[in-house]
Structure 1
Amino acid sequence: MTARDTRERHRAATPLELFFDLCFVVAVAQIAGELHTYLGEGRSVTAVTSFLTVFFAIWWAWIGFTWFSSAYDPDDVPFRLVTLVIVTGALVLAAGVRQAFEEHDFALVVLGYTVMRLAMISLWVRAARSGAAERRTGYRFAGGLAVVQALWCAWLLLPVPAQRLAFAPLALLDLAVPVLAERASQTSWHPRHIAERYGLFTMIVLGESVMAATSAVRRAVDADYAGDDLYLLAGGGLLTVFAMWWVYFAAPAGEFLAATRRGFRWGYGHYLIFGAAAAVGAGLALNVDALTDEAALSAPAAAASVTVPVAVYLVTVWVLHVRPQHRAGWGRYPLPAGAALVLAATGTPQPVPVTGVVLAGLVTLQVIGRHRTGGDRTAGGTAVPEAAD
């Protein structure tokens, strides 16, 4: 195993990485499906807390492998086999999602997480022993992951109230492992490859949202429900997801990461982007259920299941992609303003179509901004990356 060249040209996602992403989205779909079910039953607190908890496990496991494979990817038989073990762990985790939501039983979730982490520990040990990673860095990663995973296993033994209190500190400790490990030396991750991997996963999760909403509309049609309100909802949902895709890819994240190397903040912040994108699909399906009287929740609650994650998505994209690039002129303002308008749409009679119209307006402003700057790929003003660390 050797370190990849950070200046390697045309570094692209491999077929193994694409397969890895698709398998992980199976777990994301399971989590989003349970969020939809529990919100529809009016159990909002359980729905949101369980969603955030289980989603953290699948997101963080995806993060760990993605950054490792960007820096060290020999694509040999041992690496492929370990990758498939990680995928197996993700599927075990997915199998435990319903138990986590229904009974607050995280045994299968932690088991799947443990399988994934043991596989990652083996990769870091291999990287350290082969000299691909600086030895202290590799062993710090391996040791840190082992210690935190042991704590997660011990977490299972706590009573439910104590588990809830201990989750956030343990999650923060998990997030601290890469920060502490890379104090010895930074791993050789590839900026444009990382940007592509995150972009691909964002697209796949948005696609899962489209599928969830489409399935809900199909169920309504199969039940002989048809009307202008259903068509407005379906059209507004599609417009929303299409615009979310457009907004994300309006800024060239690879160029920004190459200029700044500020990967931790950017990478960690995608917890909100991925989570919000998954939640939008559940929210759209929930609004269809509310329309057909299959969901036990109020109209404002159904509306908020779409408008809140969309607003979180817009603000996070603004914080990670737009604001750090020092856009000149009006280009720095549309996304936070759009998020405020989307939240205001919660109280309207047609919140999903209004949300779609607001996001379509944001896309229009981005296209106009790109045209005014002579076709610059970063819409809405001149982008000036921050100075490198």
Structure 2
Amino acid sequence: MSDTLEPAATTHRIRRMSGRDPHEPHRVATPLELLFDLTFVIAFGIAANEFTHLLIENHVGAGLLGFSLATFAVCWAWINFSWFASAYDTDDWVYRVMTMLQMVGVIVMALGFPPMFASVAHGAHVDNRVMVAGYVVMRIALVGQWLRAAAQDPAHRRACLTYAAAITFAQALWIVSIFVDTSVPVTFVIVAVLIGIETLGPLLAETRRGGTPWHAHHIAERYGLLTIIALGEGVVGTVATLTAVIGEQGWTFDAVFVVVAGVGLTFGMWWTYFTLPQAELLHAQRERSFWFGYVPIVTLAAIVATGAGLHAAAYYIEHHSALSSVETVLTVAVPVGIYTASVYLLYAVMLRTAEVLHLLLIVLTVAVLAVAVWLAASGISMANCLLVVTLAPVVSVSPTNSSGTATPRVRWPRPSMVRTRASFSDHRHG
């Protein structure tokens, strides 16, 4: 019996962080990564809620600024952890404790969103103290991970040290920004510079310092999982809108339309995202990894903003919103349009091509969203307008192949990268 228990007792002993095999078969997300992702449920939820409140108070500009900063911080924190884990996850007790510290940082950062949004709305000084404190805690924990990798993986030491140095330098500047008393516009200029520094570090490390052994299929799966978490805000917004309709009118056709619209929109956005064979694209185009890593920031922000828009629609139905019917529909339609465009953009930059069909589908999507806005201007009920918005993702998923799946007709840039459509289907369903 002791022999049987011995492996389990030593499973999480300290291991050498020498780098994972980028071609490791059957690499999937770990339970620790899934637990880590739960903190981002909270972060996205708070960001969406604060954005909604500024929208219904008609502080749209302030809401967009605050939401942009919050969603970048959330997405960037997740991206850095996930790419590091893809290359260096040892799952030993030190790695687990460092991950827990990053989870604490995410929660603290999220708790800093309300004062940050409120200060942006007031237009004086951006109160980002709690938010930056949580962000720095999370990032410094990651610095420790990169330094450990640098010490134990000589082959990729230069890249690991570049990551550690860039993160440390950026965090020092973030801390300084807390004590700089500037106006909101100046603060966001400073933020833009700091974001540039944050994003420059990985670019240098991966292209000029040898890179790291990340796993394409693992990364693609991780992005898919975070997308599903973000889509949860659409479900939350649907429930909020449905509750408002039932409270105002009881169970009516409008209530049914809201359920169909909210769930249908969320489902359609999910379908659109997972139409693209992302793992195969990233595996074949590793040199395009930065596009794959950064474009989804826009995609994820648009998804969360859609949920916030649905929540704003609930406030409108309850007569607790300063927005007009048209403006309320726009809070949903605009992020849906941005989301759709970002999905096609990722396809285009990964394959370095723009297909006429995709451009046509984008135009049709915009047309559907424009119809929804026009209906709102014509006095049609909010539930019916949202139902029309739901048709927007249908435009993208309707062109199917003969087998009935919506796999895009991928045109690989080099013959060696050709993959059969059957392999894409097998991967998605495997």
TM-score with structure 2 setting the length: 0.84
Is 1:362 matched with 2:396?
Answer: yes
Equivalent position of 1:33 in the other structure: 49
Of the three residues 107, 129, 147, the one matched with 2:129 is: 107
Distance in 2, Cα, partners of 1:194 & 1:96 = 28
Q: Does 1:378 align with 2:378?
A: no
Query: 1:50-61 counterparts in 2 under 5 A?
Result: 50-61=66-77
User: Which of residues 256, 259, 276 is equivalent to 1:231?
Assistant: 256
Which string of whole-angstrom CA distances, capped at 9 and with x for unpartnered residues, describes residues 325-360 of structure 1? 478976434542243224413222343211112322
Structure-1 residue corresponding to 2:302:
276
* Cα distance in 2, alignment partners of residues 68 and 114 from structure 1: 17
The reply to whether residue 353 of structure 1 matches residue 387 of structure 2 is: yes
Taking the aligned partners of 2:25 and 2:146, their CA distance within structure 1 comes to 25
Q: CA RMSD in A?
A: 2.1
Question: Gaps (5+ residues) in structure 1?
Answer: none
Q: Which amino acid aligns with 2:393?
A: L
**In 1, Cα distance between the equivalents of 2:281 and 2:396?**
21
Query: Shift of the alpha carbon at 1:375?
Result: 6.3
1:14-163 to structure 2, matched below 5 A, reads 14-103=30-119, 104-131=126-153, 134-158=156-180, 159-161=182-184, 162-163=186-187
User: What residue number does 2:3 align with?
Assistant: none
Answer with 1 or 2: which has the greater Rg. 2
Name the CA shift for 1:289/1:132 in 2 (closer, same or farther; >3 Å).
farther
Q: CA deviation at 1:254?
A: 0.2
1:174 aligns with 2:198: yes
Distance 1:27 1:133 in 2: 36
Letter in 1 for 2:386: V
Cα distance in 1 for residues equivalent to 2:173 and 2:351? 38
Unaligned residue ranges in structure 2 (runs of 5+): 1-16, 120-125, 377-383, 418-430
Shift of 1:55: 1.3
Distance of 2:290 and 2:251 partners within structure 1: 47
1:337 counterpart letter in structure 2: V
Structure 1 residue corresponding to 2:280, chosen from 241, 245, 255 = 255
**Secondary structure in 2 matching 1:75:** coil
After TM superposition, the score normalised by the length of structure 1 is 0.92
CA distance in 2, matches of 1:332, 1:43: 34
Structure 2: distance between partners of 1:377 and 1:6: 28
1:96, distance to aligned residue in structure 2 (A)? 1.0
SS of structure 2 residue aligned to 1:348: helix
Task: Name the SS of the counterpart of 1:126 in structure 2.
Answer: helix
Larger deviation: 89-98 or 348-357? Answer: 348-357
- Report the more deviating stretch, 225-234 or 253-262: 225-234
**Inter-CA distance 346–386: structure 2 relative to 1 (3 Å threshold):** farther
For 2:170 and 2:220, the matched residues in 1 are separated by 27
Pairs aligned (count): 382
Deviations along 1:56-102, one digit per CA (max 9) or x if unpaired, are: 11111101000000011111000011001001000001111111111
Q: Give the Cα separation in 2 of the matches to 1:201 and 1:133.
A: 30
Q: Is the 8 A contact 2:271 2:397 kept in 1?
A: yes
Q: Which amino acid aligns with 2:281?
A: F
Aligned partners of 2:261 and 2:390 also within 8 Å: yes
Deviations 1:174-224 (A, max 9, x none): 111100122110111111110000001101110232123213322442455
Letter in 1 for 2:159: T
Would the alpha carbon gap of residues 328 and 89 (structure 1) be closer, same or farther in structure 2, given more than 3 Å must change? closer
Say which SS state the counterpart of residue 256 (structure 1) adopts: helix
Tell me, in whole angstroms, the C-alpha distance in 1 between the residues paired with 2:58 and 2:159: 47
The alpha-carbon distance between structure 1 residues 361 and 181, as it changes in their structure 2 partners (threshold 3 A), is closer
- Which residue does 1:314 correspond to in 2? 340
Q: Which amino acid in structure 2 is aligned with residue 196 of structure 1?
A: E
2:323 maps to 297
Residues 1:326 and 1:135: Cα distance change in structure 2 (over 3 Å): closer
Query: Retained in 1: the 8 A contact 2:234–2:262?
Result: no
Change in CA separation of 1:70 and 1:296 when aligned onto 2, cut-off 3 Å: same
**One-letter identity of the residue aligned with 2:213:** S
Question: SS where residue 398 of structure 2 aligns?
Answer: helix
Moved more, 179-188 or 310-319: 179-188
